[in-house]
Copies of this chain bind each other. A is one copy, B any other.
Amino acid sequence: MLRYDFALREKGQPLYEFLYECLKEDIQRGRLKAHTKLPSKRELARDNGVSVKTVMNAYDQLLVEGYLVSREKSGYFVAGVEAVPKYHPERAEHPQIYVEDNWFADFTANNAVYEKFPFSMWRKVMRQVLTEYDLELVQRAHFLGVKELREAIADYLYRSRRMIVSPECIVIGASIEYLYGRLIQILPRDAVYGVENPGYKKIPRIYEEYSLNWEYLDMNDQGISIESLTKSQVSVVHVSPEHHYPLGTVMSVARRQELLNWAARETERYIIEDDYDGEFRYYSRPIAPLQVMDRNHRIIYMNTFSKTLAPAIRISYMILPEKLMIRYINRANFYSNTASSCEQYALAKFIREGYFERHLSRMKKYYRIQGERLIRNIKQSVLLPAVKVLGGECGTHLLVKVDTSMTDTEIKWAAKQQNLQISCLSEFCSEVKPDYQHVLVLNYSDLDEAAMKEAIRRLGNIFIDW
């Protein structure tokens, strides 16, 4: 006879659920062996003082989960289930697998400065979107991204960069890396990717993750080396012509034309134009992107609001030439758009109502002054053996050539002792050339104004303590 003590039942727990748990545990622990016939519903109900309906519900759950099998006209049997060790229902402990660093100053971070974020305006448009929109906030968005936003971006790009872009050729995504992943799917499988050397380290990492073929291409003072490009097998080249990272080079018009001509020579050659901080040019107008000069539909233009607005706003975009757009539509429209609809509508409003460009011009002023202040601090530092400072006219990083007998590894290690994180130019290169040695790359976009003096003092200490 199977009898359970219903007094042990948790407060509020349904009778059938308690019975189900008891039976399941007996089966799991092997107390009810495989192929054992269970009592009939009526019998079990009577023995336990519960209704037949209660037993029926418990048996049904056990049937669905496969603990029981039912054989027509002969009743219920325990299924062939192995006994499992006892289950501990405590909440799992939290292993501290990941420990976040806490630097006094992190010169490798490329974040926007949070304090300057236009909170009141952003909150205002977010609240408006929450009030004014309804189904749009829950329905699956257009797989390319919210139409209003694509239109606002197209208008903005025309106003600010003289780019002529159809909203139908813009793909919105939650990050540049994500869009990169989607882009790779519509480029030829046998494409060989070209990476600027030195260059942004994430790019070859992405190619590695996708098991793609890629090559390093040299840089010279006009931009990517065409000689290096033509000697390579590369068919898709990644460049940052408006402001190279970390060298700061602006690709010359002549080099731009050579690059476009190179692409035009074969049908499946493309140029990925990464305009990651082209908006932040301080002493001259923003430089017209390569995309503007492209007559052969070879430019894939990429940009992100995570840099211009805030890293938490996960909205990036790429602009595809029509040929690739058609491929994208055919292949990728089974993917949902990854960016939040609510934030896409908010951003569209934010751009349309002029807040975005107002924010940009405020940030340009702020970053310019921050850059000037940092350069001043570096030049005034008695400890820092800075022989040359490059940058400050665009973006939010400087290159500082230092005169030292330390290796770059030693510099980084010593910086760590000062609770500073820095990179050296040599880390952005495939092999170390003498010119690229002893050059600090200092990102200052989220460097606290107050902390700057102290950060530079500590930076100086690196060299004095040696």
Contact = CB atoms under 8 A, between A and B. Distances in A.
Interface of A: 17, 20, 57, 60-61, 64-67, 79-82, 84-85, 87-98, 100, 111-112, 114, 117, 119, 122-123, 126-127, 130-131, 134-142, 144, 154-155, 158, 162, 164-169, 174-175, 177-178, 181, 185, 189, 202, 205, 209-211, 222, 250-257, 281, 283-285, 287-288, 292-293, 295, 306, 309-314, 322, 325-326, 329, 333-343, 393
A252 to B, nearest CB: 3
Contact of A338 (B79, B95, B178, B310): B178
A466 to B, nearest CB: 30
A85 B154 CA distance: 22
Contact of A138 (B80, B112, B285): B112
Contacts of A343: 340, 342-343
B333 A98 contact: yes
Contacts of A342: 126, 312, 340, 342-343
Count of identical protomers in the assembly? 2
A65 B287 contact: yes
- Chain A: interface secondary structure? loop
A234 to B, nearest CB: 20
A168 B135 contact: no
A165 B139 CA distance: 30
List the 10 closest pairs (A to B, CB-CB), nearest first. Answer: A66-B252, A138-B310, A174-B338, A140-B311, A340-B340, A312-B341, A66-B253, A61-B284, A92-B166, A174-B174
B211 A97 contact: no
Contacts of A154: 91-92
A64 B312 contact: no
B61 A285 contact: yes
Contacts of A98: 144, 168, 329, 333
B325 A340 contact: no
A351 to B, nearest CB: 15
B250 A312 contact: no
A268 B183 CA distance: 30
Contacts of A288: 65
A222 B66 contact: yes
A140 B111 contact: yes
A185 B209 contact: yes
Contacts of A257: 81-82, 84
Contacts of A122: 137
- For A66, A87, A257, which residue has the most chain B Cβ atoms within 10 angstroms? A66
A366 to B, nearest CB: 15
A435 B265 CA distance: 54
A164 B91 contact: yes
A134 B119 contact: yes
Contacts of A141: 311-312
Given A134-B119, A135-B114, A166 B339 contact: no
Contacts of A17: 285
A129 B322 CA distance: 40
B117 A312 contact: no
B126 A130 contact: yes
Contacts of A111: 139-140
Contacts of A338: 174-175, 178, 314, 338
A98 B327 CA distance: 11
A166 B98 CA distance: 13
